[in-house]
Structure 1
Amino acid sequence: MENSEVRYTEDEIKSLDWKEHIRMRPGMYIGKTGDGTAADDGIYILLKEVLDNSIDEFVMGNGKTIDVQIKEAVVKVRDYGRGIPLGKVIECVSRINTGGKYDS
């Protein structure tokens, strides 16, 4: 194998906004992307995060039930917890690292 010099200049340095980075490298955020056939595929990591949040609400006394419905390729989770204050819904679902539990 021939060892050729690799050129690395300022032109190769890029900055991505957070959405572009997640789309380009989803595995950095959810592990292996996969097709859902393996237990450690990213879809299950995302589902575990939703369930963990529901359990947190339940343990803190917010809501008495966690409903999980699985039908074909659709999973629905409802926890009857406090939810997201309406004035912050868009921010919470569209900006990474936005949440209300950083001080707890």
Structure 2
Amino acid sequence: MAEVSNYTEDSIRSLDWKEHIRMRPGMYIGKLGDGSAQDDGIYVLVKEVIDNAIDEHMMGFGKTIDVKISDHRVEIRDYGRGIPLGKVVDCVSKINTGGKYDSG
């Protein structure tokens, strides 16, 4: 039989979105692992960045896609349009911020 616990209204918390991501990153990027499985979070993130680079290239904005992997680092550069400078802080610090939501 399960141990009796006091699961009441007081057990429910609302976290700031950043705090929630820090506590449960696997909910956003997939499994947290050591890089040995294809669905580990790092691969999900790398795939997303490469997908965005390919999108820029296919739309005619990126001329080259560079991918460099060394010393436990991955660098990806697409030479595309980038993020408009006035929105860089929002795009890299606020979840669900981007420019492709209206593109169908």
What's the TM-score bracket when you normalise by the shorter of the two chains? over 0.9
Displacement of 1:18 after TM fit? Answer: 0.8
2:104 is equivalent to residue 82 of structure 1: no
Superposed CA RMSD in Å reads 1.2
Distance 1:33 1:39 in 2: 11
1:43 corresponding residue in structure 2: 42
Segments of 4+ moved more than 3 angstroms: 3-6
- TM-score, structure 2 normalization: 0.92
Q: Give the 3-state SS of the residue equivalent to 1:48 in structure 2.
A: helix
- Structure 1: which 5+ residue stretches go unaligned? none
Residues 45 and 6 of structure 1: CA distance in aligned 2, closer, same or farther (over 3 Å): same
Displacement of 1:6 after TM fit? Answer: 3.3
Displacement of 1:72 after TM fit? Answer: 2.1
Q: Where do residues 1-104 of structure 1 align in structure 2 (5 Å cutoff)?
A: 1=1, 3=2, 5-104=4-103
- Structure 2: which 5+ residue stretches go unaligned? none
> How many corresponding residue pairs?
103
